[in-house]
Structure 1
Amino acid sequence: MGSGPSLLHREDIHVVIAGGGYAGIQLAKSLKNKARFTLIDPKEMLYHNVGAVRSCTEPGFAKRILMPYAPAFGQNFKQGSVTAINAAEKTVLLSSGEMVKYSHLVLATGSTGTFPGKLPDEMITVAEVTQKSEAVLKLVQEAKKIVIIGGGAVGTEVAGEIATDYKDKEVTLIHPRDKLVNGESSDAFQERLKEVLQGLGVKLVLGERVTNLDELPTDRVETATVMTDKGTEISADLVIPCTGLKVNSTAYKDSLASSVEDNGSLKVNNLFEVQGTERIYAIGDCTNIPETKMAYRAGMHAELLAKNILAQETGGTVKEYKPDPFIMVVSVGRKAGMGQKGSSLLPEFVVRMVKSRDMGTGRYWKEMGQKPPR
């Protein structure tokens, strides 16, 4: 934030940030030394899920995607879960029973989904996540025929990682749509992405939905048959579900029910203000902003909101958020990647440099003000 306005002298200002994902940590970083804030998250660390797919294939990589909050934010971090909001009293209730008062509340609760793309709710420590990651890695190493269900960004990247690092595996990717990753991507993007995956030996089964997921081995290596609604049968000894994400609305779905969309996202305006509330904001994946949800966009939300809060309280001018053109960056193993911005494809070497090489781990350790483990 440079030498801009500061609210540290204002005892009446306390920004509470619910959620320590990409939006939450960027907001906390932007407010650090500028205003009193508390970052609240049930986990003890940022789970860098952008890089989590590589922990499925590379021994030791799990420790590079787990970035502790305490060294970054000290006493401004509180481990806990927000379960209710009292907008009239300007307080949030934690699962521990503790009440935290705020002047500004920012909901950055993100989304939920299947591992490795997202963490199960009960996994809150570095040790627990490391153990889970290593267990998945061991299954991948033992399996011979791996079927990945879901061809969004996570499923596509998992397929690319396994096919790159373990060329002896038979990898099949099943997706209910004809387009991988994102339906807004161009035909040229799709053609090149499929070409790269198939060049690695990945078998693509598109436009078909798995019908027997509940019966398949997802936590062990065991021979099974994956069945689709088109009658396709695929032999597997390990199934990795990478199905769609859901908005994480637990913190606010009851307290702010009138401001919640049917899918759980919060209705916000271009200043990130939650509809029908005062001094309550939402950023990142839990908003209803019509754009592709991405880590870098969550960071953009946070940076602008921090500037607006400071400006609002010091007589400055606030600025509205304007969504960027469509953008998508997909890693396909450590040596390949595809990207699109607007209608144009990004140079593949650029994608390899900014993402595929280290899955952004170096950047986010730096964002957290720490050095990555060796």
Structure 2
Amino acid sequence: NAIPKKSSGFVRIKHAVATDISPDKKEISFHPIGADDKKSGKAEKLHFDYLVLATGSTYTVPIKQDPNDYTRATTESKLQDVRSEIEKAGKVLIVGGGAVGCEMAGQIKAKYPDKNLHAALDAMKVNVILGERLTERLPGNSFERRTLRTDKGTEIETDIQLLCGGFCPVSDLIQDMDPSLVTEQGSIKVNELLQLDNEKYSNIFALGDSSNHDTPKMAFWAADQGKFLAAQLAAVVQKKQD
């Protein structure tokens, strides 16, 4: 549904994992994903005139699917597992009070108003803890009853711990191609036109969570960036054809 029917004659969709960019040859290497949802061991190559990287970011599962999971069924199963755990829990701890953490807290409280939440939503009677950090670093989401402590001595009794403390940009392809184009935070360096921040790669672009562009890292803005870049590339191609 993302590709208009009128574009089907010149749009090709590859279900694959990209592994390498050769900017001089204008080629990208990839491993196809087969009907068995497994990555092929044999690499193939695809030529490009312009390349757009919309690789996004990784987050704790199931907020985002595992980067090595290529099946919708597996993702849906993991989401259902977390939902079941939330339904059974009395106290839910959400670590992180940004956009994702607040949205997660709001969704859980709206669906299960009896749950005792620790997050950042006073209006919904969600318990809020500001300016404190957990003394123990949590490696991932956990679904066991635990008592955690903050650096200010606050004790938090929870049945579930959900991590919403930020994402990691997916920039491996650019890191391997030219490490100077990746920030310390792992974002791809781009200019105001979303091109890689080096004239040498003016035909390669990055947008959304993966780039260091200063627009908010939210789906709404990524969609706007996509529209902007599509119009920009169409104009460039049309100018060359004329």
TM-score bin (small chain): 0.7 to 0.9
Counterpart-to-counterpart distance in 2, 1:157 and 1:116: 14
Native 8 Å contact 2:62 2:75 kept in 1 = no
Counterparts in 2 of 1:162 and 1:264: CA distance versus 1, 3 Å: same
In the alignment, structure 1 residue 223 sits paired with structure 2 residue 197: no
In the alignment, structure 1 residue 103 sits paired with structure 2 residue 49: yes
In the alignment, structure 1 residue 91 sits paired with structure 2 residue 65: no
Worse overlay, 159-168 or 201-210: 159-168
What is the RMSD of the two structures over their aligned residues, measured on CA atoms? 2.5
- Given candidates 89, 94, 99, the residue that maps to 1:143 is 89
Partner of 2:98: 152
Deviations 1:233-286 (A, max 9, x none): 111111111121121112221113222222222222222221221311112222
What secondary structure, in the 3-state scheme, does the structure 1 residue paired with 2:129 have?
strand
Counterparts in 2 of 1:307 and 1:35: CA distance versus 1, 3 Å: farther
- Given candidates 209, 214, 218, the residue that maps to 1:290 is 214
What secondary structure, in the 3-state scheme, does the structure 2 residue paired with 1:151 have?
coil
Counterparts in 2 of 1:208 and 1:30: CA distance versus 1, 3 Å: farther
Counterpart-to-counterpart distance in 2, 1:86 and 1:124: 25
Deviations 1:72-91 (A, max 9, x none): xxxx2211221211001111
Amino acid at match of 1:101: H
What secondary structure, in the 3-state scheme, does the structure 2 residue paired with 1:315 have?
helix
In the alignment, structure 1 residue 301 sits paired with structure 2 residue 225: yes
Where do 1:32-181 residues align within 5 Å?
33=7, 36-37=10-11, 76-95=12-31, 96=40, 97-173=43-119
Partner of 2:37: none
Amino acid at match of 2:167: L
Note the residue ranges of structure 1 that are not aligned, 5 or more in a row: 1-24, 38-75, 174-179, 181-196, 317-374
Native 8 Å contact 1:84 1:94 kept in 2 = yes
Partner of 1:262: 184
Deviations 1:334-370 (A, max 9, x none): xxxxxxxxxxxxxxxxxxxxxxxxxxxxxxxxxxxxx
Deviations 1:58-84 (A, max 9, x none): xxxxxxxxxxxxxxxxxx221122121
Deviations 1:195-239 (A, max 9, x none): xx33432100111111224389x443x321111111111111111
Counting matched residue pairs gives: 228
**Alpha-carbon shift at residue 34 of structure 1 (Å):** 9.4
Counterpart-to-counterpart distance in 2, 1:312 and 1:31: 23
Counterparts in 2 of 1:262 and 1:30: CA distance versus 1, 3 Å: farther
Native 8 Å contact 1:266 1:288 kept in 2 = yes
Native 8 Å contact 2:207 2:213 kept in 1 = no
Native 8 Å contact 2:18 2:30 kept in 1 = yes
Counterpart-to-counterpart distance in 2, 1:215 and 1:290: 28
Counterpart-to-counterpart distance in 2, 1:199 and 1:240: 21
TM-score by length of structure 2 reads 0.85
Counterparts in 2 of 1:152 and 1:116: CA distance versus 1, 3 Å: farther
Counterparts in 2 of 1:107 and 1:287: CA distance versus 1, 3 Å: same
Deviations 1:264-318 (A, max 9, x none): 22222222221221311112222221221121221121112112222112228xx
What secondary structure, in the 3-state scheme, does the structure 2 residue paired with 1:270 have?
coil
Note the residue ranges of structure 2 that are not aligned, 5 or more in a row: 32-39
Counterparts in 2 of 1:263 and 1:30: CA distance versus 1, 3 Å: farther
TM-score by length of structure 1 reads 0.56
**Alpha-carbon shift at residue 30 of structure 1 (Å):** 8.2
